[in-house]
Protein backbone atom coordinates (compact mmCIF):
# COMPACT_ATOMS: atom_id res chain seq x y z
CA UNK A 1 0.00 0.00 0.00
CA UNK A 2 1.46 3.21 -1.14
CA UNK A 3 2.06 6.12 1.18
CA UNK A 4 1.05 9.66 0.42
CA UNK A 5 2.08 12.78 2.30
CA UNK A 6 -0.87 15.04 3.06
CA UNK A 7 0.46 18.55 3.70
CA UNK A 8 -1.76 18.83 6.77
CA UNK A 9 -2.03 15.28 8.07
CA UNK A 10 1.34 13.83 7.18
CA UNK A 11 2.35 10.53 5.64
CA UNK A 12 -0.62 8.16 5.40
CA UNK A 13 -1.51 4.99 3.54
CA UNK A 14 -3.32 5.48 0.26
CA UNK A 15 -6.54 4.01 1.68
CA UNK A 16 -7.04 7.23 3.60
CA UNK A 17 -7.25 9.24 0.39
CA UNK A 18 -9.61 9.77 -2.49
CA UNK A 19 -8.22 10.57 -5.90
CA UNK A 20 -9.59 13.73 -7.44
CA UNK A 21 -8.20 13.61 -10.94
CA UNK A 22 -5.67 15.76 -12.66
CA UNK A 23 -5.55 19.48 -11.91
CA UNK A 24 -6.97 20.85 -15.13
CA UNK A 25 -7.36 24.59 -15.15
CA UNK A 26 -10.60 25.71 -16.77
CA UNK A 27 -10.28 27.79 -19.90
CA UNK A 28 -12.30 31.01 -19.87
CA UNK A 29 -15.73 29.57 -20.65
CA UNK A 30 -16.94 32.81 -22.20
CA UNK A 31 -13.96 33.36 -24.44
CA UNK A 32 -12.71 29.98 -25.59
CA UNK A 33 -13.80 28.22 -28.76
CA UNK A 34 -16.15 25.22 -28.65
CA UNK A 35 -13.25 22.92 -29.54
CA UNK A 36 -11.12 24.18 -26.68
CA UNK A 37 -14.03 23.77 -24.31
CA UNK A 38 -14.77 20.25 -25.52
CA UNK A 39 -11.11 19.39 -25.14
CA UNK A 40 -11.23 20.59 -21.55
CA UNK A 41 -14.46 18.82 -20.70
CA UNK A 42 -14.01 15.49 -22.42
CA UNK A 43 -10.35 14.75 -23.04
CA UNK A 44 -7.85 13.51 -20.50
CA UNK A 45 -4.12 13.08 -20.95
CA UNK A 46 -3.34 9.39 -20.58
CA UNK A 47 0.31 9.29 -21.44
CA UNK A 48 2.71 8.85 -18.54
CA UNK A 49 4.39 11.94 -17.26
CA UNK A 50 4.63 14.38 -14.41
CA UNK A 51 1.19 15.63 -13.45
CA UNK A 52 -0.40 17.80 -10.81
CA UNK A 53 -3.23 15.84 -9.27
CA UNK A 54 -5.98 16.47 -6.76
CA UNK A 55 -6.01 14.23 -3.71
CA UNK A 56 -8.39 14.30 -0.78
CA UNK A 57 -7.62 13.14 2.73
CA UNK A 58 -11.02 11.74 3.49
CA UNK A 59 -11.09 11.68 7.28
CA UNK A 60 -10.01 15.30 7.70
CA UNK A 61 -11.61 16.62 4.51
CA UNK A 62 -8.39 18.05 3.15
CA UNK A 63 -7.92 18.68 -0.57
CA UNK A 64 -4.35 19.04 -1.71
CA UNK A 65 -2.20 18.76 -4.77
CA UNK A 66 0.30 15.99 -5.45
CA UNK A 67 2.86 16.30 -8.18
CA UNK A 68 3.25 12.75 -9.42
CA UNK A 69 5.17 11.00 -12.12
CA UNK A 70 2.47 8.70 -13.43
CA UNK A 71 5.06 6.66 -15.32
CA UNK A 72 7.04 5.59 -12.27
CA UNK A 73 4.23 6.25 -9.77
CA UNK A 74 6.49 8.39 -7.65
CA UNK A 75 5.24 11.41 -5.74
CA UNK A 76 7.48 14.38 -6.34
CA UNK A 77 5.85 16.75 -3.86
CA UNK A 78 2.54 17.56 -2.24
CA UNK A 79 1.19 20.95 -1.25
CA UNK A 80 -2.04 22.82 -0.69
CA UNK A 81 -3.68 24.33 -3.74
CA UNK A 82 -3.06 27.79 -2.35
CA UNK A 83 0.65 27.05 -2.32
CA UNK A 84 0.82 26.45 -6.05
CA UNK A 85 2.36 29.16 -8.16
CA UNK A 86 -0.03 31.19 -10.31
CA UNK A 87 1.58 29.55 -13.30
CA UNK A 88 0.81 26.09 -11.98
CA UNK A 89 -2.77 27.05 -11.17
CA UNK A 90 -3.25 28.30 -14.70
CA UNK A 91 -1.54 25.24 -16.12
CA UNK A 92 0.89 27.16 -18.24
Partner 1 sequence: MIIEYQRHSPLHGVHVANGAEWAAHHGMTIPASFKTGRAADECLANVALADVSALPKLGVKGPGAVAWLTGQGVSVPDTVYACRPMDDGGTVIRVDTAECFLEDRLGNNAVDTISAALDSDQAGVYRVPRQDAGLLLCGPKAVDVLTQTCGLDFRRLGTRLVYTRVAVVSVALLMLPDNNAPSYRIWCQPSSAEYLWETLAEIANDIGGGTVGLDAVARLL
Partner 2 sequence: MSDRLPEPYGLLIDRDRQVPFQFDGREYRGYDGDTLSTALWAEGVRVLGRSFKYHRPRGIFSLSDAGLVVETDEETNICGDRLRITAGLDARAANTRGGAANDRLAILDRFGAFTPVGFYYKAFHTPRFMFPFYERQLRNMAGLGAVNTNKPVRRTAKEYAHCDVLVIGAGPAGLAAATRAATLGARVILATDQPGAGGSLLYRYSADAAAAAHLSRLTEAVQVHDNLELRVGTIVAGHYADGWMALVDDERLTKTRAGAVIVATGDNGLPAVFRNNDLPGIMLGSAALSLIHLYGVKPCRTAVVLTNNADGYRTALDLHAAGVVVGAIVDPRADGETSAVSGKVESESISILRGKMVSEGLPASGKKGTVGVRLDSGGTLDCDGVIIEVGTAPADELIRQANGHMEYDDVLGRFVPGTLPDGVYAAGRVNGIFDLEKQIEDGVSAGTAAAVHVGISQQPFVPRPKRGTSSVAVSRCPVVAHPKGKNFVDFDEDVQVKDFVNAVQEGFDSAELMKRYTTVGMGPSQGRYSNFTALQILADARGETLAGKALTTARPFVSAVPLSHLAGRGFTARRLTPTHHRHIEAGAHIMFAGDWRRPEYYLRTGLERQECIYQEAANVRQGVGLIDLGTLGKLEINGADAAAFLERVYTGNFANLKIGRTRYGVICDESGVVIDDGVICRLAADRFYVSTTTSGSDTIYRTLQRWAIQWADLDVVLVNATGSYGAMNIAGPKSRDILKALTDVDLDPESFPYLAVREGHVAGVPARLSRVGFVGELGYEIHVPADGSLAVWDAVMEAGKDAEIRPFGVEAQRLLRLEKGHVIVSQDTDGLSNPFEAGIGWAVKFKKPFFIGKRSLQILKERPLTRTLVGFALAPDHSGTVPKECHLVIDGDAITGRVTSISWSPALRHVIGLAYVAPSQSEIGTTFSIRADRGQMISAIVVKTPFFDPDGERLK
Binding stretches for partner 2 (CB under 8 A): 1-3, 13, 18, 20, 26, 29-30, 34, 37, 40-42, 54, 56, 61, 63, 73, 81-82
Residue 78 in contact with partner 1, rule: CB under 8 A: no
Per-residue H/E/C for the chain: CCEEEECCCEEEEHHHEEEEEECCCCCCCCCCCHHHHHHHHHCCCCCCCEEEEEEEECCCCEEEEEEEECCCCEEEEEECHHHCCHHHHHCC
Sequence-distant (6+) residues with CB within 8 A of 44 are 21, 22
Q: Output 12 or 24, the one with its CB closest to partner 1.
A: 12
Binding mask 38-77 for partner 1 (x = CB under 8 A): -------------------xxxx-----------------
**If contact means CB under 5 to 8 A according to the sort of partner, which of partner 2, partner 1, none does residue 8 touch?**
partner 1
Site stretch for partner 1 (CB under 8 A), options 12-20, 32-40, 64-72, 84-92: 12-20
Amino acid sequence: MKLLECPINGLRPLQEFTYGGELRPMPDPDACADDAWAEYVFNRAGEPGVRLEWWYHTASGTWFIAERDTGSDTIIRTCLYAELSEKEKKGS
